Chains A and B, each alone.
Chain A
Amino acid sequence: MSVLAQETPTRGTRLQLHGLLPPRSAERYEDFLSLYGRAPRSTAEDLLLAVEQSGLAGRGGAGFPTSRKLRAVRAGRRAVVVANGTEGEPASHKDKVLMRLNPHLVIDGALLAAEVVCARRVILAVGRDGDAASVMQAAIDARPDAGAIELTTVPERFVAGEESALVHHINGGEAKPTYASQRVFEAGVGGRPTLVANVETLANLALLARHGTEWFRSTGTEAEPGSVLATVGGCVRMPGVIEAPIGTGVSELLARCGGLTEPAQAYLIGGYSGAWVPADDRLMLSNASLASSGGSLGARALVVLGEGSCGVLETARVIAYMAGQSAEQCGPCVFGLRTLAARMSVIARVQPGAAEAYGHLSRLHRQIARRGACAHPDGVLRFAASATQVFAEEFSAHLAGRCTAHSHAPVLPVPTSRGDWR
């Protein structure tokens, strides 16, 4: 898959102020400094205030206000910062691209967050596969101020990046979510208040420290300020990672990816725990715009499904994958998702019993919803429910005995490597 580094749209005074993706190579520390300079010294309180006024929300998918998270951890003692670059979502590559192209911005963000919460430890977590670990380690080694950052690699599992799973792994356990009575911001790594923040969120923190709140709020929308990284895949000519202001039209996004290779029927937005929405290039990359179609930004993994593909088949494939990604700790998740995958498979394959399987779906939904220790099963339910709505016609066709798609070639990436949990 090709990777694009897109320049931030230039706007008046923002000409020399670079965004998340650098306009040219910034992997070497000297090159990074010549582009971005050093973050000006400021107090933790000032930086915290800037974050608050900026309206920065988490970029990992949950969209939680960053200033609130920072304040909560700062209230504790001997905090720990965990920079989350694990990106277990197969349809998302933005964190890997960000770390490869701008490792020092991420490191700066992590160090700044550590100052704000008075952290004693800074841990950077990345997935085991790929070159993220070596790139980040090289970047850490190349600068005098990052010596204390601990790099840790995490198994390539979908739920391994969930905050309690990540903390559990760092504490020596499996990368599986836990059901502790305390959230990680109260007791996480080593029992200490822990800030788990996505690497893109931290990179934004580093930009905020340099360019200020006004700069940050000069793009995006009033309710959702700033720019985001979005991964675009599916039937576009040049799939890749794009940096764009929140509120950018999907049409512009698709144009920057070289346009469509075939007419689109639907978009999957938010990755495999996100939702399908009917294809409509008047949609904009914002929660406000997507909400009307039942979607939300999430981690901004956008996959375009062409008209020739089968939405039911793609959904069934992903649900099978997601069922296999269960941490196998909670009965409703293990058995519920597996049953859901089996039912969807029968429907997708247009097998006898498809009608009965379809009728079973709502009962399955009730038996799975909110009964796991983490949000994994609920994400799958959301994804499945959106499919039954958006692909209602295709479902009817399957139940009537035929699939109307021209191509059954896989569109949504489904990794086959399984890896372990430690």
Chain B
Amino acid sequence: MLASNSLMNADWYLMRASGVVSLILLTATFVMGIATFRRWRPGKQPRFVTASLHRSVALLSVLFVGAHVLSAVVDPDAVLGLVAVVVPFTAGRSALWVGLGSLSIDLIAVVIVTSLLRARIGARAWRAIHWAAYASWPLALAHSFGTGTDASSLWLRAVGISCVAAVGSAVVWRVGAPRAKHLEPTVVTP
């Protein structure tokens, strides 16, 4: 009795922890993506390192999202079927908040798969789908706030706010990018 209780507890903690780490990693992925676009380089490192980091952090977040989902499915308390993981808004309890997570995972999965097969699907299709990444993050954030029993705890809110701040700054950074291949129409006539 006590042993299975501890297991359930452990699983519950794993689900919570991996969820938080996932959100942080997804935030980091988002920021690294913008950094790649903005041609940022850490010190004197070559710029492809930034792109490489973006890819690595993305794959790492997939791992933690995977652990998060698995532990949620295994947890009898959470009442989350495998179907509800990928089909949004079909979970029994807290269908809305869990559904947001499901939707986020769906988008992340599509982005990851298309990125791994980028050369096959062509640049235009890849780019269009990659924009879906922008939607996956707010969905993950909303999911994190809506689900779980410590959604209102101070530390989770602090993490959430930091992530929002990071993404907000990254968005401003993205939007502020100068137009590529464009020069102001100054007339250079003698």
Contact = CB atoms under 8 A, between A and B. Distances in A.
A345 B188 CA distance: 7
Contacts of B185: 324, 418
Contact of B181 (A321, A330, A414): A330
Contacts of B188: 320, 323, 338, 341-342, 345
B12 to A, nearest CB: 54
Contact of A348 (B181, B182, B183, B190): B190
Contacts of A334: 181-183
Contacts of A414: 189
Interface in A332-351: 334-335, 338, 341-342, 345, 348-349
B interface, by DSSP: helix, strand, loop or mixed?
loop
A345 B181 contact: no
B187 interface: yes
Nearest to B182: A328
Interface residues of A, number: 21
Interface in A287-340: 313, 316-317, 320-321, 323-324, 328-331, 334-335, 338
Size range of the interface on B? under 10
Nearest to B179: A328
Nearest to A330: B181
Contact of A329 (B181, B183, B187): B181
Interface in B159-190: 181-183, 185, 187-190
A345 B183 contact: no
Contact of A328 (B181, B187, B189, B190): B181
Interface string A22-50: 00000000000000000000000000000
Interface string B51-87: 0000000000000000000000000000000000000
A94 B185 CA distance: 30
A357 to B, nearest CB: 12
Contacts of A316: 189-190
A334 B182 CA distance: 7
A349 B182 contact: no
Interface in A236-271: none
B190 A313 contact: yes
Contacts of A323: 188
Contacts of A328: 181-182
A186 B67 CA distance: 52
A223 to B, nearest CB: 40
A313 B182 CA distance: 26
Given A334-B183, A418-B185, 8 more contacts: A317-B189, A320-B187, A321-B189, A328-B182, A330-B181, A331-B181, A334-B181, A341-B188
Interface of B: 181-183, 185, 187-190
